[in-house]
Amino acid sequence: MKPCAQSFLPAIHGGTVGPRLRFVAIVSDRNAPEPIAPVEAVLGEGPVWVERDQALWWVDIKGPAIFRWRDGHVDRWMPPLRIGSLAPARAGGFVGGTERGIRWIDPEQDVYALIVDPEAQLPDNRFNDGKVDRAGRFWAGTMDDRELEATGTLYRLDGDLGCTAVDSGYRVTNGPAFSPDGRVMYHSDSARRTLYAFDLNADGQASNRRVLAHFREEQGYPDGMTVDAEGCLWIAFWDGWCIRRLSPDGEQLDTVQLPVERPTSVAFGGPAFDRLFVTSARVGLNEKALVVQPLAGALFMIQVNARGIPERMFG
């Protein structure tokens, strides 16, 4: 694949991170990460910009909680079960992966209706990250909530509500994300610090899984991700204090440093889709760590010199 264009990136500083890996800052000091919702999420996750609301939605998996940020105001709902991801549905509300299957979710109407639970026989598993592809299908992965066993599976939910297991053997599923043309899907096993790419056909069949990148322990663990209009990946790195931007071939292009150790996921949004929203977590941080990073668990916004792609709705 052709590497992403870099001519629009202001080279504030540069350096090396291992063999062949180059990075430059893509945000100036005046566009540094801004904490816009210091909600102290235990495990903030799943940010998604919903155009019909002109709002950023996200979850706290372990709260549990659902949040909406709109025009500087934050709304919070307390769902009856843990939710790993939300994706807007064409019929209204959301489809989401939860600790007990994939569900229709509308917090404003107190709706959490089961669609399918493909892992009812695995009580220690839960759904983690999820997203809608360019054709309107919902993809979500499961994981062992204890993060011990490789019992995680990546599923695809079609518009007719048929659910298909696509890939298995994951410890901590994260992603997915999709190329602008919808022909490539990206997905990771965070515990193995490995990012995969799949070919994706028009029917949603995934094939040719390959390792796109593997990360060293000191770089952190690849968590939630998104793709910009250039086809480049933006990935949150748990225990990495940063967001990294990779080319479609897996080459690291840029790094955005953050004031928190555990960023969890990213999403483009705003009227021009040039704002990057970043969720983060407090889970596992001791009192000393929280003194150093009091904004852990906040939602951040960064003005970046790149543009995202509007997310498709499910269905």
pLDDT tens track for 254-311:
999 999 999 999 999 999 999 999 999 999 999 999 999 999 999 999 999 999 999 9
**Mean pLDDT of all residues belonging to the chain:** 91
On whether residue 239 sits in a domain, the answer given is yes
Concatenated DSSP letters for the chain? -PPPP-TT-----EEE-STT-EEE--S-GGG--EEEE----SBEEEEEEETTTTEEEEEETTTTEEEEEETTEEEEE--SS-B---EEBTTSSEEEEETTEEEEEEGGGTEEEEEE-TTTT-TTEEEEEEEE-TTS-EEEEEEETTS-S--EEEEEE-TT--EEEEEEEESSEEEEEE-TTS-EEEEEEGGGTEEEEEEE-TT--EEEEEEEEE--GGG-EEEEEEEBTTS-EEEEEETTTEEEEE-TTS-EEEEEE-SSS-EEEEEEESTTS-EEEEEEB-TT--HHHHHH-TTTT-EEEEE-SS-B-PPPPB-
On whether residue 61 sits in a domain, the answer given is yes
On whether residue 315 sits in a domain, the answer given is no
pLDDT of residue 25: 36
CATH code (residue 220): 2.120.10.30
On whether residue 185 sits in a domain, the answer given is yes
Supply 255's token pair: 């790094």
Domain total in the chain: 1
Task: State the pTM of this model.
Answer: 0.90
Q: Is 223 a catalytic residue?
A: yes
Residue 271 C-alpha from the chain's centroid:
20
pLDDT of residue 4: 44
pLDDT of residue 2: 36
Over residues 200-204, mean pLDDT: 97
On whether residue 149 sits in a domain, the answer given is yes
On whether residue 210 sits in a domain, the answer given is yes
Q: Which of 60, 189, 223, 228 is catalytic?
A: 223
On whether residue 151 sits in a domain, the answer given is yes
On whether residue 97 sits in a domain, the answer given is yes
- Asked whether residue 120 carries a pLDDT value surpassing 80, the answer given is yes
Residue-number span of the structural domain to which 159 is assigned: 14-303
